């Protein structure tokens, strides 16, 4: 044995002894750690279960709120849309549209009668004054009676057309009443934005719904959108139009409504929709590559349902909500002032006593 190696041997022995002690204590340490983690895991599971219960309750509450409030109209409510093979204008659902349709139908009858009279005169002249039936043609150059008739009759016809036409034009540009609901329509390339300045100032962005999704839901492709312009029925609407880039045109045929949206300009027209339903339109001004893919979808609802929809929008309010909001704001301001006064008293008790 070499006594010069004893420090090395002693170090090895101490290392082996320490490893043995650690191996002996390792199961107890693991058991203690498991016992410590078990309550934490149980608490985590309980918290997760509680969160699930809370989420389910919140989901049930949201579903209940939705059931009692706004629900988007389904395809069975579609009223204004193009019809394959149709020859006439779409059925109208606004007062101005019904007036214009009546004038349109009346003018068609006037044009048809005039065309038949002219055709009958041409046939009569061709048959009566052909060479075989009239070998010696008349040399008459003037007929006062005929000249008066063919001058006065067209004048009277034009006057009869002008009176309802001017009346229709006047109605189309009537100013909305003061209590009209204001909706600002903004044209973008290539989608629409609908702002509600009277109801909190929120804006709804509307893009064309993918064709496959629209067909799967029963809506017309290239006409249905992800977010419709929701309006109250039987209520005057102040439609204001503008554009953010190029000229667009907001047109809905079944409502007899068309107005340009021009950048830097605010155009305005009155619109009233008589029946609840969905009414489709399209941009009617060439505005770029995707001009044909920026449809318009208007959803008209009863007033109470429309107000429920407004309240679901971020910051959306209706007339009855404004006083409550003002009162809440006043209470918050009073609470803030009271808190500041309390802080000041706590910082300077002597001043508060004086």
What pLDDT, on the 0 to 100 scale, is given for residue 160? Answer: 93
pLDDT higher than 50, residue 35: no
Q: What is the pLDDT averaged over residues 109-127?
A: 94
Residue with more model confidence, 298 or 131? 298
232-238-239 Cα angle (round to 5): 95
CATH of domain 181-312: 2.60.40.420
Annotate the chain with three-state secondary structure: CCHHHHHHHHHHHHHHHHHHHHHHHHHHHHHHHHHHHHHHHHHHHHHHHHHHHHHHHHHHHHHHHHHHCCCCCCHHHEEECCCCCCCCCCCCCCHHHHHHHHHHHHHHHHHHHHHHHHHHHHHHHHHHCCCCCCCCCCCCCCCHHHHHHHHHHHHHHHHHHHHHHHHHHHHHCCCCCCCCEEEEEEEECCEEEEECHHHCCCEEEECECCHHHHHHHCCCCCCCECCCEEEECCCCEEEEEEECCCCEEEEEHHHCEEEEECECCCEEEEECCCCCEEEEEEECCCCCCCHHHCEEEEEEECHHHHHHHHHHCCCCCCCCHHHHHHHHHHHHHHHHHHHHHHHHHHHCHHHHHC
Q: Which tens digits make up the pLDDT trace of 204-237?
A: 999 999 999 999 999 999 999 999 999 999 999 9
What is the percentage of the chain residues whose pLDDT exceeds 90? Answer: 61
Q: What is the pTM of this model?
A: 0.68
What pLDDT, on the 0 to 100 scale, is given for residue 42? Answer: 37
- Torsion sign, CA atoms 26, 30, 31, 32: positive
Q: What is the pLDDT averaged over residues 165-183?
A: 93
- What is the C-alpha radius of gyration for the chain, rounded to an integer number of angstroms? 40
């Amino acid at each position: 044995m070499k006594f010069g190696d004893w420090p090395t041997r002693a170090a090895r022995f101490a290392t082996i002894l320490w490893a043995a002690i650690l191996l002996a204590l390792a199961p107890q340490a693991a058991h203690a750690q498991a016992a410590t983690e078990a309550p934490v895991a149980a608490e985590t599971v309980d918290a997760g279960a509680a969160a699930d219960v809370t989420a389910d309750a919140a989901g049930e509450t949201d579903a209940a709120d939705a059931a009692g409030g706004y629900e988007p109209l389904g395809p069975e409510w579609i009223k204004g849309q193009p019809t394959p093979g149709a020859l006439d204008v779409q059925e109208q659902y606004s007062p101005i549209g019904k007036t214009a349709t009546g004038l349109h139908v009346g003018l068609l009858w006037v044009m048809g009668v005039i065309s038949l009279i002219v055709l009958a005169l041409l046939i009569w002249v061709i048959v009566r004054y052909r060479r075989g039936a009239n070998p010696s043609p008349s040399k008459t150059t003037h007929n006062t009676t005929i000249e008066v008739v063919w001058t006065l009759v067209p004048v009277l016809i034009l006057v009869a057309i002008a009176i309802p036409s001017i009346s229709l034009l006047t109605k189309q540009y009537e100013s909305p009443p003061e209590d009209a609901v204001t909706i600002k329509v903004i044209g973008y390339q290539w989608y629409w934005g609908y702002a509600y300045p009277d109801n909190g100032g929120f804006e709804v962005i509307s893009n064309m719904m993918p064709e496959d999704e629209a067909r799967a839901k029963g809506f017309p492709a290239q006409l249905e959108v992800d977010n419709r312009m929701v309006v109250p029925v039987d209520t005057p609407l102040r439609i204001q139009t503008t554009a953010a880039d190029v000229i667009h045109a907001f047109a809905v045929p079944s409502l007899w409504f068309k107005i340009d949206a021009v950048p830097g300009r605010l155009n305005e027209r009155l619109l009233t929709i008589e029946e609840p339903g969905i009414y489709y339109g399209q941009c009617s001004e060439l505005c770029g590559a995707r001009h044909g893919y920026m449809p318009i979808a208007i959803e008209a609802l009863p007033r109470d349902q429309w107000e429920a929809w407004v309240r679901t929008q971020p910051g959306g309010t209706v007339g009855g909500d404004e006083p409550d909001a003002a009162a809440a704001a006043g209470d918050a301001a009073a609470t803030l002032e009271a808190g500041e006064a309390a802080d000041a008293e706590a910082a300077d008790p002597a001043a508060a006593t004086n």
